[in-house]
Amino acid sequence: MSEERGTRVEDEAARLDAADELRALREEFVLDGDEDGTPVVYLDGNSLGALPRSVPARLADVVEREWGRMRIRSWTESGWWEAPERVGERVAPLVGAAAGQVVVADSTSVNVLKALVGAVRLAREDDPGRAEILVDATTFPSDGYIAESAARLTGARLRAVPAGEIAGEAGPATAAALVNHVDYRTGELHDLPGITAALHRAGARAVWDLCHSAGALPVGLDASGADFAVGCTYKYLNGGPGSPAFLYVRRDLQPRFDSPLPGWNSHSEPFAMAEGYVPAEGIARGRVGTPDILSLLALEESLKVWERVDAYGGAAMVQVREKSLALTDFFLRRVEAHVPAGRLTSVTPGEHARRGSQVSLLCADEDEAGPVMKELIARGVVGDFRHPGVLRFGFTPLYTSFADVEAAARVLGEVLRERP
């Protein structure tokens, strides 16, 4: 036990932090202690990312100058009107998409509905007999609710299938599949290129939920040939609570994309106030109504942090992925050292190819997860838990340090040893 109690592990964490190519980015975020001064190790970026330091000043300028003094002129003079596509261009390289294929607007749920109904309609243009939607059986609940609604809207039948089995289950009746890239409970990473290719071989369309992967690992939407993708921006992209989601529509599909929500903002001539709907060209047809400018521009400022990564875009995500895996490897090793045997089991895959950027630990006593997480938070280690009995720890490579990881594992061990 001397190794755990002494300085060797602390020295190892310090060496890893010193060698971290992304370590300077930590200073770009507000990671101070709680209001009472308690130091905080923040491992809940998979639910809400930390605040980039430059955002408050930018948001104050938007409110005080652009809204307060320029008022309606800001739609044109401050670029508010183009913001959904402009911010989409900042997201695009982080998910492996070329320009002109990502728009930022609306919520994740709204964008899932657009993408899934649009995917079914596309599939039926090619083969009217396709009457089935597949959905990841362990999907985030909201995605499941939306999939049920999409099935009703399109007259399709919905079938839940484990994500790992979707490739084999897709057949001649399948119109589209909605799949989570990373499982929100377990942190398991699913095979986006392989599942997409299998769906295409079956003549179906692939819709991906990137909420737990965008900003944490390479996605490669263009390289995989994905049809549609949706993701939130308040997790690893640090856009703030309720920041608008993004929608990806592959370029060659955009002329055929028939959104179930044709709003005035996606009209080809939005200010003509025409009675009939004519969709805009390109990714702008993914818009619906008036964008949430305050949240959208806060997100735009947040995304500027990525410009400080050595190589913005795909190469940056390689750096981020390497650190993510190193953080989660270190955490799993330190949990094993600190936590009493038999109290926790990792439900996150050990293999790098199947792991996202979180670690989920199942409590032997499932009822213990809530109280344990409450005590961790009281002691300055912030994660969260999900029923039944899962403690979740999210690792945001832009600001999480190896010293954070060691501290979190140590406090977790202390809490569990103190409990009967």
Please list, in sequence order, all residues whose beta carbon lies within 8 angstroms of the beta carbon of residue 101, skipping any fewer than 6 positions away. 88, 92, 221, 222, 248, 249, 250, 251, 254, 283
Total length of the chain: 420
Give catalytic status of residue 34 as yes or no. no
- Point out the catalytic residue in the list 136, 191, 209, 227: 209
Q: Which backbone phi and psi does 348 adopt, to 5 degrees?
A: -90, 130
Tokens encoding 362: 């199942």
Give catalytic status of residue 392 as yes or no. yes
Give catalytic status of residue 234 as yes or no. yes
DSSP annotation of 44 reads B
DSSP annotation of 8 reads H
Phi-psi region of 201 (alpha: psi -120 to 50; beta: other; left: phi over 0): alpha
Give catalytic status of residue 312 as yes or no. no
Tally of CB atoms within 10 A around 417: 11
3-state secondary structure of 208: strand
Q: Are 107 and 140 in contact (CB under 8 A)?
A: no
- Point out the catalytic residue in the list 29, 42, 184, 234: 234
- Point out the catalytic residue in the list 90, 114, 136, 140: 140
C-alpha dihedral over 65, 68, 71, 76, to 10 degrees? 20
Helix (H) or strand (E) holding 249: strand 246-249
What distance in Å separates the CA atoms of residue 102 and residue 86, rounded to the nearest whole number?
A: 9
Please list, in sequence order, all residues whose beta carbon lies within 8 angstroms of the beta carbon of residue 125, skipping any fewer than 6 positions away. 256
Give catalytic status of residue 402 as yes or no. no
Q: Are 413 and 1 in contact (CB under 8 A)?
A: no
- Point out the catalytic residue in the list 90, 130, 185, 235: 235
Tokens 């692939």 correspond to 206
- Point out the catalytic residue in the list 287, 355, 392, 410: 392
**Known catalytic residues?**
140, 209, 234-235, 392
